[in-house]
Amino acid sequence: MREGEKAEDGAKGRGQGMSSETTVKAGLPEAFLDRMQQMLGGEYPDFLRSYQEEEIHALRVNSLKCRITEVVGKAPFSLTPVPWCSEGYYYEAKERPGLHPWHDAGVYYIQEASAMAPAEYLGALPGERILDLCGAPGGKSTQIAAAMKQQGVLICNEIHPARAKILSENVERMGICNGIVTNESPQRLAERWPEYFDRILVDAPCSGEGMFRKNADARKEWSAQQVSLCAGRQDEILECAVRMLKPGGRLVYSTCTFAPEEDEGTVFRLLEKYPELRTTAVPAGSGMTAGEPRWACPEGTAEEPHGLSDTIRLWPHKLKGEGHFVAILEKSGDGPWAAKPRDAKEKGRKKGLPDAEIESYLKFRKEYLPDVELDGTYVLFGDQLYLVPGEAPRLEGLKVLRPGLHLGTRKKNRFEPSHALALALRPEQVRDVRELSSASMELAAYLRGETLPGQGEKGWYLITADGFSIGWGKQSGSVLKNHYPKGLRKP
């Protein structure tokens, strides 16, 4: 179970639709309830009552696309701040921001509020090398990218092919230029990139207990055996992450489960195996509580080991969000990796293309994007032209879904810009722009794939929705031909 992001579900407001305690218990695994009662003691009734309340709805504004003030106060739906995320906002259940054109334009990402905490605590900075090891569906990857401000390199990885495709689509929708999407196992990446990353996020696959309120499938799939299986998998993933983290780097581990075996227990086992790691206190906000070492330590342990109380838990009965666990770990400069050169993995990096190979793109850029400067290395995959981040490591031999920003398709004597490029551009960067209102019939027709009437200079136009880039059109005579991707068109 992952971060539990989804667009809409028409749920009632929080606190409505109350059911009896018996009904709540009937919908949850008995062994889970017994353990939670032991863990929470006097708080258990409050915890149980939280299951009588409907899920919380939230979104995160994409600062790569716009300023927060351009959305908050101007959006056609109510927004109130999420305390632990400066770009996070709650919205009412009856509202449908996932169906609004701004969602298609990448203005925001529909994301569960508690799931915004791990990437916030990662503390990503522009120019760094960062890995989101278990990245799908993309909420945390795109949140990290926003903090990086298109500078540095972000590897967004997902081991499952179908989920990796969704991850890649969300990286594109949010207009990310410095993101690379891979579909690899943690073991393969660890072999390729030892001690390479400044920061790594491991939002690990888990038993999903924190999402029981909003996900009935998670309840049905739960078992004590599954908890143990998840804990073992988390140990393996984290060992790979430690190998890839540079000395002095930061590792954030998170889950959406309450199970101590997967939370404090996983951190305890990791620190027992790697003494060069240490926990760093997670700044706990209102409604968050410190992790409990007693839930993870072997019976009879006299002292708290490794500072497990530096970790935090987000509880659905204490805050507006679902259940989550977060730990920050840092790696000292001591250890066998300290003497290894960091540049070993840089040898053999793919060189950029000569101008003659990308002449059609350079002509397009000069004509339509005269003021755009994009940093990186041009790479061709067949006729598809990509801009790979300048700090990117070697990618040869890996399963790569998106090696960087997809610029477009090189065709005979011409260049056709990609949808990804449109979403990554701001209107002021493009020579010709067709501005449409999000409430207009014209924009609705454009999103259905229809041509638009109108006069203008022949050539490519950036289409905008209330000033936010959403796709391309090509003016020919009195018609603007539609280049909105067929797979994204509305019925």
Q: Tell me whether residue 371 is exposed, middle or buried, using C-beta atoms within 10 angstroms of its C-beta: 0 to 12, 13 to 18, 19 or more.
A: exposed
- CB contact at 8 A, 269 and 204: no
Using the CB atoms, write b or e for 263-296: b if 16+ within 10 Å: bbbbbbbbbeebebbebbebebeebbeebbbebb
Residue tagged 């066998």 (tokens)? 336
Enumerate the β-bridge partners of residue 314. 288, 324
Enumerate the β-bridge partners of residue 223. none
Q: Which helix H or strand E contains 63, and what residues bound it?
A: none
- Between CA 75 and CA 357 the distance in angstroms is 44
Tell me which residue of 185, 191, 60, 179 sits closest to 131, measured CA to CA: 179
- Between CA 262 and CA 268 the distance in angstroms is 10
- Between CA 76 and CA 78 the distance in angstroms is 7
**Which residues lie below 8 Å from residue 225, measured CB to CB, with a gap of 6+?**
none
Q: In what order do the strands lie in the sheet with 88-90?
A: 80-81, 88-90, 58-61, 108-110
Angle at which helix 264-273 crosses helix 224-244, to 10 degrees, equals 40
- CB contact at 8 A, 199 and 147: no
In the chain, the N- to C-terminal Cα span, in Å, equals 31
- CB contact at 8 A, 152 and 197: no
Tell me which residue of 324, 312, 325, 268 sits closest to 294, measured CA to CA: 268
Per-residue DSSP letter, 176: -
Q: Active-site positions? A: 256
Q: Tell me whether residue 351 is exposed, middle or buried, using C-beta atoms within 10 angstroms of its C-beta: 0 to 12, 13 to 18, 19 or more.
A: exposed
- E strands present in 256-323: 277-280, 288-290, 312-314
